[in-house]
Amino acid sequence: MLAATDLPGKITFPRRLVLTIAAALVAGAAAGALLVSGVQATGHLVSQKGRAFQPGSVAIQRGETLVIVNDDSDLLHHLYIESDTFSFDSGDQAPGSRTAVTFPQAGTFQVLCGIHPKMKLNVKVN
């Protein structure tokens, strides 16, 4: 419960509430750091910027993950993969969004953008 002090316009919070909020903020920051470090440790980052994938080709191991980031500030993208052994569709990707794609099969795959047909990412999975 909030309690006003003697000073006009100043509000104090019970110590228990302040400690609970602080603990929640610390736990949230730690969880976010683990998530980011986990993506960096196990995923390969690919950028979508200027209607192009950067880099334009990657080689990964079977079971590894590509994290594809829409780095265009004002463009939607829409990833998809169609092959005999593996298919994927991201749906529309808003600017700033990240999409993780794990490749369970070995082979060569082409990641395309359903909105920008000239965008192509070649993925070699060993």
For the stretch 58-97, pLDDT in tens is 999 999 999 999 999 999 999 999 999 999 999 999 999 9
Residue 41 has pLDDT above 50, yes or no: no
Residue 119 has pLDDT above 70, yes or no: yes
The band of 21, judged by pLDDT with boundaries at 50, 70 and 90, is low
Quote the mean pLDDT of the chain. Answer: 80
pTM (2 d.p.): 0.65
pLDDT of residue 65: 95
Residue 2 has pLDDT above 90, yes or no: no
When pLDDT is averaged across residues 15-20 and rounded to a whole number, the result is: 63
For 5, the 3-state DSSP assignment is coil
Residue 14: CB partners within 8 Å, gap ≥ 6? 1, 3
28 touches 34 (CB < 8 A)? no
Domains identified in the chain and CATH numbers:
3-39 (no CATH), 43-125 (2.60.40.420)
50 vs 35, residue with greater confidence: 50
pLDDT of residue 69: 96
Q: What is the 3-state secondary structure (H, E, C) of 78-119?
A: CEEEECCCCEEECCCECCCCEEEEECCCCEEEEEEECCCCCC
